A and B are shown apart, each in its own frame.
Chain A
């Protein structure tokens, strides 16, 4: 997935100014940036929740235009928002299929519009199992789950529906140490299933533990994209805050800036 020259202005306020973005297949890309750097604006544009004023987004080399999050989903991009977007009084299965419920075949499904609860439960259970997430029952209400489990369910949902990209917005922000580890493991497993992951995070240690590359966002555009193997944490922070200029770090960009690659 790639984006070039994304721009978004809110009146006088600059949301994005010529922002570039690239995501390689099957990688975990961390997106970091200080508050107000414009991370969420960029992510929203990629997730279809926001229409940029100018610029172009490519998926698998094809240009795409998102006019709503639904469009992004149709292309295979799923997003896990910070609020998780889980209906806490519904159960795991209902949340997994919310908005995309399965109906029974034949007359029962088309005329009477009856839900195929058994099949949905089976698939939900399978998905959770494949990602190694353990819960007491697939019929548990979300409100009975811990914070980490809820996060896991949200990620599992995105991974289940996503065909290409899963965007995670601060997935471990509200979690304790142990649950954070478990969610990070989960994210690795999502990558193993063939999805690319965009991970927005404030936690440097986490990012360095899990990311293949790091996209540093600053002042509405991409300041640098580096590899954790060739760049140290303090340098990443420095670029983030502006203490270091972009060219002070080794770029890990696959495409030259401003030109489509694949």
Chain B
């Protein structure tokens, strides 16, 4: 690697009037102050939405805003939240993964069935292996062989969903291993239960956030999402980074599988059938752009809470489940629309 020392020879100070390139950048005409700050910090929109949701529900439903329910919302968020971390990575490099839920379910089924024969540690390990291997195949097909992510992961979704059912012979089995369901337990303080799963979700979010914001790999992920050509011309091995993104997402899917077993100690091939859409919803509502290069795990964290809080609040308020779907769908369109509008004129 080249020595990153800049070659700056001491040069005679040029006359400022003679040589200076134009000073303050005139903001592009389409921008105005508030939208510019919104775009600069894409988390403000989702955060605002989350606050609004909490306020509205706490006013309309007396049982929403209490410690027990808040901790319940947290618990209900861990599966989609962890799954969505992997999805965030993939969407950041302008990809998409329709197979994430199915991969997670495969993980639960593999781990659950192996644990029922005895060895819990082996079960977890093989669950991880299954998820990472499948996700890596996605990565290979997409990064190396350049298949469009939508098509590739759609195909993988169909294959893995069927594979999980075949493997488990379409039946679900209860998980008795403490290790497999450990993420569902945790210290309790009265009505508030802080499960290990919740702690793990937060920790994974922080770790991934660090990786994306504080490491060279993270910068390159954003660069590739923004402009793969620019990244490549600057010596970034785009193929290798994109592959690593998909493979790493597989790790998060495996954690999500572990979370699922913690929450519902049943290995069920028919579970989480729309988890892929839920995870994408969480990512998009959280402000990460489907075009790549913009957003992050903080937004996904908020987005997950929004999706879960909506369901929780609407169910408590006795409002038909269909309205929850309408509300979520409307939020998604708002988020994507906002991203489109604010992004106009900013794309490379």
Which residues of A come within 8 Å of B, CB atoms? 69-70, 73-74, 81, 83-90, 94, 97-103, 112-115, 123, 126-127, 130, 132-136, 140-141, 143-146, 148-149, 152, 159-163, 178-179, 182-183, 185-186, 189, 192-194
The yes or no answer to B188 lying at the interface (CB within 8 A) is: no
Besides the known contacts A89-B346, A136-B25, 12 further A-B residue pairs in the complex with CB atoms under 8 A apart: A74-B2, A87-B223, A87-B226, A98-B219, A112-B214, A140-B25, A144-B25, A148-B22, A149-B21, A185-B14, A186-B21, A193-B9
Contact A113 B346 (CB under 8 A): no
CA distance A240 to B27 in the complex (A): 41
Contact A89 B226 (CB under 8 A): yes
CA distance A141 to B27 in the complex (A): 12
Q: What is the chain B residue whose CB lies nearest that of A103?
A: B216
Contact A81 B219 (CB under 8 A): no
Question: Which of these, A69, A145, A148, A189, contacts B14 with CB under 8 Å?
Answer: A189
Which residues B207-238 have CB closer than 8 A to chain A?
214-217, 219-220, 222-223, 226-227, 229-231, 233-236
CA distance A185 to B14 in the complex (A): 10
Question: Which of these, A89, A100, A130, contacts B294 with CB under 8 Å?
Answer: A89
Contact A115 B219 (CB under 8 A): yes
Contact A163 B7 (CB under 8 A): yes
Across the interface, which residues of B come within 8 angstroms of A143, CB to CB? 345-346, 348
Contact A114 B214 (CB under 8 A): yes
Closest Cβ–Cβ distance, residue B66 to chain A (whole Å): 39
The yes or no answer to B26 lying at the interface (CB within 8 A) is: yes
Across the interface, which residues of A come within 8 angstroms of B229, CB to CB? 83, 85
Across the interface, which residues of A come within 8 angstroms of B217, CB to CB? 113
CA distance A193 to B25 in the complex (A): 26
CA distance A178 to B255 in the complex (A): 56
Listed from nearest, the 5 A-B pairs whose CB atoms lie closest are A99-B235, A85-B233, A101-B216, A99-B234, A132-B19
CA distance A126 to B21 in the complex (A): 15
Which residues of B come within 8 Å of A, CB atoms? 1-2, 4, 6-9, 11-12, 14, 16, 18-28, 40, 214-217, 219-220, 222-223, 226-227, 229-231, 233-236, 293-294, 345-348
**Inter-chain contact total with CB atoms closer than 8 Å:** 152
24 CB-based A-B contacts, threshold 8 Å: A74-B2, A83-B230, A97-B4, A98-B236, A112-B214, A113-B216, A113-B217, A132-B14, A134-B21, A136-B24, A143-B348, A144-B28, A146-B25, A152-B21, A160-B6, A160-B8, A178-B22, A182-B21, A183-B21, A185-B19, A186-B21, A192-B11, A193-B8, A194-B7
Closest Cβ–Cβ distance, residue A87 to chain B (whole Å): 4
Contact A90 B223 (CB under 8 A): yes
CA distance A87 to B22 in the complex (A): 21
Contact B219 A94 (CB under 8 A): yes
Closest Cβ–Cβ distance, residue B93 to chain A (whole Å): 12
Across the interface, which residues of B come within 8 angstroms of A152, CB to CB? 21
The answer to whether A88 and B227 touch (CB under 8 A), given A149-B21, A182-B21, A194-B9, is yes
Across the interface, which residues of A come within 8 angstroms of B216, CB to CB? 101, 103, 113, 115
Q: What is the chain A residue whose CB lies nearest that of B18?
A: A185
Across the interface, which residues of A come within 8 angstroms of B27, CB to CB? 144
Contact residues of B: prevailing secondary structure: loop
Contact B294 A98 (CB under 8 A): no
Across the interface, which residues of A come within 8 angstroms of B9, CB to CB? 193-194
Contact A89 B293 (CB under 8 A): yes
Across the interface, which residues of B come within 8 angstroms of A194, CB to CB? 7, 9
Across the interface, which residues of B come within 8 angstroms of A70, CB to CB? 235
CA distance A160 to B9 in the complex (A): 10
Contact B231 A98 (CB under 8 A): yes
Question: Which of these, A87, A94, A179, A183, contacts B348 with CB under 8 Å?
Answer: A87
CA distance A116 to B117 in the complex (A): 49
Q: What is the chain A residue whose CB lies nearest that of B1?
A: A100
Across the interface, which residues of A come within 8 angstroms of B7, CB to CB? 159-163, 193-194
Across the interface, which residues of B come within 8 angstroms of A185, CB to CB? 14, 18-19
Closest Cβ–Cβ distance, residue A128 to chain B (whole Å): 9
Across the interface, which residues of B come within 8 angstroms of A145, CB to CB? 25
CA distance A186 to B215 in the complex (A): 32
Q: What is the chain A residue whose CB lies nearest that of B228?
A: A87
CA distance A82 to B40 in the complex (A): 27
Across the interface, which residues of A come within 8 angstroms of B347, CB to CB? 88
Contact B6 A100 (CB under 8 A): no
CA distance A200 to B217 in the complex (A): 33
Closest Cβ–Cβ distance, residue A189 to chain B (whole Å): 7
CA distance A100 to B7 in the complex (A): 14
Q: What is the chain A residue whose CB lies nearest that of B218?
A: A115
CA distance A143 to B27 in the complex (A): 10
Contact A134 B20 (CB under 8 A): yes
Contact B18 A182 (CB under 8 A): no
Closest Cβ–Cβ distance, residue A108 to chain B (whole Å): 9
CA distance A98 to B2 in the complex (A): 13
Contact A99 B220 (CB under 8 A): yes
Closest Cβ–Cβ distance, residue A70 to chain B (whole Å): 6
Contact B25 A98 (CB under 8 A): no
Contact A100 B4 (CB under 8 A): yes
Contact A134 B231 (CB under 8 A): no
